[in-house]
Amino acid sequence: MTAHHPKRIYLAGPEVFFPADAHKTILAHKLSLLRDAGLEGVDPLDTTINFPPDESLKERGFRIYRANRDLMDNCHGVIANLTPFRGISADPGTVFEVGYMIGHGKPACGFTVDSRTYYRRAGATEFDDDGLTIENFDLEDNLMISCSIVESGGVVATGDTEAPEHAFFCAKAFMRCVQTLAEHLS
């Protein structure tokens, strides 16, 4: 008889940029919710990379990219924190990771603490200050992000903007993603 190994879920999001204590607190909460659903969470920092002192910053960047890509290759799905980060949209690295996973036929889910649509975050006008069109499709983020997640079998869950556990984390929205992936991967 073979041992049951839980499905591995890659946890994409800007939390890797947070102070260590905030990252660890949010990660512990996510891992607990995933474990309770019979899934295993994989954090982008779940890798050990030793940087030689003479290695260039660009070389280090490529090593981090390859390590995260290897982690994603060994996961069954992704939950992405799509809360706007350094702008009106999700972190671009997180968006890449969602596309990478979907491109490999894996389901994706996303959550955001900001319940406003992309259009509202962009100013809720037809054109921006430069006269360029602002997309208005009543979606949580750019249509390529939201639509691809839903078509992969996932969901984009919005959290409680008024009382999230953290400015970038809402357990209720995250749990909706966990439940969706648990059903999809069973």
pLDDT at 167: 87
Cβ-contact 149, 103 below 8 angstroms: no
Q: Are 164 and 149 in contact (CB under 8 A)?
A: no
Say which CATH number the domain at 86 has: 3.40.50.450
Q: Does the residue 135 lie in any domain?
A: yes
> What percent of the chain stands above pLDDT 90?
92
Which one is predicted more confidently, 162 or 181?
Answer: 181
Q: Is residue 156 over pLDDT 60? A: yes
Measured at the CA of 149, the angle between CA 98 and CA 7, to 5 degrees, comes to 70
Q: Which domain holds residue 132?
A: 7-185
Sign of CA dihedral 154, 79, 36, 173: negative
- Residues 33-42, mean pLDDT to the nearest whole number: 98
Say if 2 falls within a structural domain: no
Q: What is the DSSP letter of 47?
A: S
Residue 100 lies in a domain: yes
The count of domains in the chain is 1
What stretch of H or E contains 7? strand 7-12
CA–CA separation, 185 and 114 (whole Å): 27
CA 18 to mean position of chain CA atoms: 14
| Contact by Cβ (8 Å): 46, 70 | no
Q: Would residue 1 count as lying in a domain?
A: no
List, as one string, the DSSP characters of 114-143. --S-HHHHTTSSSB-TTS-B---SS-SS-H
The yes-or-no verdict on residue 3 having pLDDT over 70 is no
pLDDT over 60 (residue 132): yes
176 within a domain of the structure (yes/no): yes
Residue 183: both structure tokens together = 């059903």
Q: Identify whether 120 is part of a domain.
A: yes
Helix pair 20-36, 171-185: axis angle to 10 deg: 40
Task: Please determine, for residue 115, whether its predicted confidence score (pLDDT) is greater than 60.
Answer: yes
Which ranges in 45-90 belong to alpha helices (H)?
57-73
- How far apart CA 76 and CA 64 sit, in angstroms, is 20
Residue 159 lies in a domain: yes
Is the pLDDT at 1 greater than 70, yes or no? no
CA 186-5-185 angle, to 5 degrees, is 20
DSSP state letters, 138-160: S-SS-HHHHHHHHHTT--EEE--
Q: What is the pLDDT of residue 185?
A: 96
